[in-house]
Amino acid sequence: MVPPRELQALQPGEPSAVVAARVSAARARAVARQGVANAQLPPQDLAARAVLEPAARTLLERSAERLGWSARSFHRVLRVARTVADLAAAEPIAAAHVAEAIQLRRGLPGASG
């Protein structure tokens, strides 16, 4: 949690147009790679389309085991990690992308298993 004093000293964020352009490019990257957005990618296509670096695979598998995820939860986190990597214009999914996807999942109310 960021203390209120620090919040007041934060620099302005990116303009919305810059963020929108990055999101549009990420979606285009996904559609060009697999014909659909990452959210619509079927589970059977994830292994081929969401290629993980070894450290990313280890992090994802250990997190799934430790947190007791269902197959559906595992696939959701993998799709989000693929999207995070697309936003960073990265082809293989790195451990940092998986970590961000896990944090996003854990931050949602009712996001257990």
- 37-82 pLDDT, tens per residue? 999 999 999 999 999 999 999 999 999 999 999 999 999 999 999 9
Task: Answer whether residue 113 shows pLDDT above 90.
Answer: no
The count of structural domains within the chain is 1
What pLDDT, on a 0 to 100 scale, did the predictor assign at position 109? 59
Using an 8 Å Cβ cutoff, are 92 and 52 in contact?
yes
In a domain, 4, yes or no: no
In a domain, 106, yes or no: yes
In a domain, 87, yes or no: yes
Amino acid letter, 77: V
Long-range contacts made by residues 75-81, C-beta under 8 angstroms, separation at least 24?
Answer: 75/43, 75/46, 76/105, 77/101, 77/102, 77/105, 78/46, 78/50, 79/38, 79/39, 79/41, 79/46, 79/50, 80/38, 80/104, 80/105, 81/50, 81/52, 81/56
CATH classification at residue 107: 1.10.8
Q: Supply the range of the domain harboring residue 61.
A: 38-113
Of 91 and 9, the structure prediction assigns the larger pLDDT to 91
Tens digit of pLDDT for each residue in 86-106? 999 999 999 999 999 999 987
